[in-house]
Copies of this chain bind each other. A is one copy, B any other.
C-alpha cells in the first residue's frame, strides 16, 4: 500500500512518498481540496490568518453539493434575524436542541463549539458578502420560495425535541429567491480571490504526498492532463464531500442508503477525499449513516394525515422533519409506508413530490382491504386516532395538536411512499474522523500529521438522518471548515 509500490497508480488510498517527487509544480502554506462550502470557509480563514492558500477544485468552478442545495444555514442563540423576527433564542436553548439534533453519536465538543460560536459564524457569512433578510417565513416548507430568511428547518416543534428545548426557528436562508446554495459559493469565490487566495479549477487531486515521517506534505493532482505535485507546508485540508455518487462505496458501507434512488450530490461526491485520508491512516466513522428523505410535505395539510406501515400501524409522529419520517419508514417499516389522507386534507396542487395513489376508497375498511392489510389493523389505527383527535391529542406518537384532526371526510386516499416506488433523496453522513480542530484521527486516536478534513468528507456536526435539520450540513461544514483553515494556517 505504500507509494513506492505503485508509483503510477492514481488510486486515492495509495499515498505517494515525497522522496518520489522529482519536481514540485507549486508550493503553498495550505492546500484545500474541493470548493464547496467547507472548502471555501477553510480557505478564507487560512488566507485571513496569513497563510498562502490554494483551493484545488475538480469542476470548472466551485460549488460542490452546496451549490445544489437550498442554501439554508443553521444559526441560533439570538441572531439579528431571529431578534428582528421576534424570536428569543439563547445559547442554552440552542445547545439543548442541537445536542439531540446532531444525533446520538455526535461529538459533544463539536456541538458545544458550534453553538457557542453561532453568532460569530453568522458574521463570518456576512463578511463573505452573504446577505440575510430580517424576515420569518411562517409556513411548513422545506425552504422559502421567496427571499425570506428564517424557517423551522428541523424537528424543533416535533416530539420529543419539542420537550427538550423551547422550539425556535434556526434555518437561515440567504436573501435570494428560491435556492441559495450557489449564491453562497459565488460570494465565497469572490471573497477568497479578493483577499488574495488562489483557485485552480479543473484540477483533480489523485492522492496525498507524505514525507518520511508520515506527515502529509502535499497532493498529487491531475491538471491540464498532467500529474502535478503541489507542496503544502502547513497542511492539506480535504473538503471533497461525501460518497453518495460512488455506488460501490454506498453498497459496501451504507446498504440502507443504497436503496434510495435519488442521490443528492455533485460528481465529486465520490468519496475520493475519504479514501485519500484512509490511505494515510485516517479513520472513517459513521459510514452507514445518511440523510434519506422523501418530501411528503408540502402541502402542510398532508402532515395531518396518517403514515402507516403495510401492517396498518403508525410508527412516527407525522409532523417530524421529512428526513426523520423517512428514516423511520426505512428502519421501522421496512422501507414501505402509506400516507393516508381524507378528502378534506388531500391537496394534489400543493404537492412538492408526486406519489403513486395506492388506493382510494369510501371507507377505511375498504381501504384496508384494498391495501391488503390484515383485517381490523388499519381500522383500529383510525378509530383510535380519531377518538383522541377529537380532543386534539395524539397519545401514541404525540403529533403536535395543530396537526391533529379527525379524518372523517371520505373518500380516503393512500399515497405510496415506499422506497422502491417513490422519490427518496439521499446523501451520506459518514467520513473521516476529525477533532474539532479539523485534524484527522487514526483508528487508535492519533493525529495524522499535516492532514485536516471538513464537510461531508468528515464525520462532522450532524451524524444521524433521524435527527438532522436542514442547515446543519452547510452550517457544520462551513464552521468546521473554518476551524480546519485556522488551525492548518498556524501549524508548523
Contacts and interface: CB of A to CB of B under 8 A. Distances in A.
Interface string A1-16: 1101100000111100
A298 interface: no
B11 A442 contact: yes
Interface residues of A, number: 58
B13 A443 contact: yes
Contacts of A446: 1, 11, 13-14
Contact of A14 (B252, B388, B444): B444
Nearest to A311: B396
Nearest to A334: B332
A5 B255 contact: no
Contacts of A377: 384, 396
Contacts of A274: 443
B1 A104 contact: no
A281 B213 contact: no
A215 B249 CA distance: 24
Contacts of A5: 213-215, 449
Contact of A287 (B279, B287, B311): B287
Interface in A372-400: 374-377, 380, 383-384, 387-388, 395-397
B395 A1 contact: no
Nearest to A207: B444
Between A215, A442, A445, the greatest number of chain B beta carbons within 10 A of the residue's beta carbon is seen for: A442
Which 8 residue pairs are nearest across A and B when measured between Cβ atoms?
A1-B281, A2-B214, A374-B395, A5-B213, A11-B444, A380-B380, A1-B214, A5-B214
A23 to B, nearest CB: 23
A318 interface: no
Interface in A277-327: 278-281, 283-285, 287-288, 311, 313, 315
Contact of A285 (B252, B375, B376, B380): B252
Q: Is the interface of A mostly helix, strand, loop or mixed?
A: loop
Nearest to A212: B4
User: This chain: how many copies in the complex?
Assistant: 2
Interface string A253-288: 101000000000000000100110011110111011
A285 B11 contact: no
Contacts of A445: 248
13 contacts: A1-B280, A2-B212, A4-B212, A12-B443, A14-B442, A253-B285, A274-B443, A279-B443, A287-B288, A311-B397, A375-B395, A376-B383, A380-B380
A331 interface: yes
A408 to B, nearest CB: 18
A281 B276 CA distance: 10
Between A4, A215, A374, the greatest number of chain B beta carbons within 10 A of the residue's beta carbon is seen for: A374
A375 B387 CA distance: 10
A433 interface: yes
Contacts of A249: 443
A395 to B, nearest CB: 4
A105 interface: yes
A281 B283 contact: no
Nearest to A243: B443
Contacts of A253: 285
A232 interface: no
Given A255-B104, A311-B396, A396-B374, A275 B2 contact: no
B1 A448 contact: yes
Interface in A191-215: 210, 212-215
A111 to B, nearest CB: 15
A430 to B, nearest CB: 10
Interface string A396-417: 1100000000000000000000
Contacts of A212: 2, 4
Contact of A105 (B255, B280, B448): B255
Given A13-B443, A275-B443, A288-B288, 13 more contacts: A5-B215, A11-B442, A13-B442, A104-B255, A248-B445, A249-B443, A278-B278, A278-B281, A279-B281, A279-B443, A311-B396, A331-B332, A374-B395
A311 B255 CA distance: 29
A374 B375 CA distance: 21
Contacts of A275: 443-444
Interface in A443-470: 443-446, 448-449
A133 B397 CA distance: 53
Contacts of A388: 374
Contacts of A271: 443
